[in-house]
Amino acid sequence: MVSPAPSNTESAEARQIKQTAYHHGNLRRAIIDAALEAIMESGPAGWSLRELARRAGVSHAAPAHHFGDKAGLLTAVAAEGFEVFANALERAADDVLDVGVAYVRFAIDHRPYFEVMFRPELYRMDDPSLQTARERAAHVLVTSAGRLSPGPAQNRLTTIAGWSLAHGFASLWLSGALPETAHGDPEALARSVIRLLFGTTRG
């Protein structure tokens, strides 16, 4: 897993040393990690800032210093998510099929990020680092799909189709809307499905 910032990798000792009465050491990261856990358990709205503070062992108002408010925290989560996302797509950028599969894999492996990223009403879209990573990811989608078709008009359609297919599969899988097919490996199934769209064009 590629994380843009050192996550919960520091030893318990090191944390205990830093953890004096007032200074947590790395509260910002701890709160984000707690948020990711909470989102994994009960969605992007099934928890409270105070609960995250409790999990991190700090007072109820401590998170506000780092994130301002709840939307600020979710903005940080989304920004971090788009970075991990862009990295994952770039690593597969040579092949459209691989990009599509990487899209699905990211959604499943990093579900908490994914559940926030595509819900703009939860956070502030004008965040600079967020926009940068977002454009980086979009660039991979456009260029990898652009290698398939000749004209720019076709290119545009191909990009939207591939993007929609990967995004739709990921969303439906996560929401559990594909009940009978929920057996087996989602990644393999995704690959077969995406091949149905791109297979003909690639021969």
Among 128, 151, 176, 184, binds a second copy (CB under 8 A): 176
Check residue 70 for interaction with DNA (CB under 7 A): yes
Site string for a second copy, 109-128 (x = CB under 8 A): ---------xxxxx------
Nearer to DNA, 24 or 136 (CB): 24
Of 129, 107, 111, nearest to 38 by C-alpha is 111
Check residue 16 for interaction with a second copy (CB under 8 A): no
Q: How far is the CB of 129 from a second copy (least distance, A)?
A: 18
Q: Which residue type sits at 163?
A: W
Nearer to a second copy, 76 or 194 (CB): 194
The answer to whether 96 and 144 are in contact (CB under 8 A) is: yes
CB neighbourhood size of 196 (10 A):
9
Nearer to DNA, 26 or 158 (CB): 26
The answer to whether 11 and 35 are in contact (CB under 8 A) is: no
Q: Supply φ then ψ for residue 35, to 5 degrees.
A: -65, -45
What's the distance, Cα to Cα, between the start and end of the chain in Å?
33
CA distance 184 to 176: 14
Q: Which does 74 bind (CB under 5 to 8 A by kind): a second copy, DNA, none?
A: none
Chain residues that interact with a second copy, rule: CB under 8 A: 42-43, 45-46, 118-122, 156-158, 160-161, 163-172, 175-178, 181, 189, 192-193, 196-197, 200
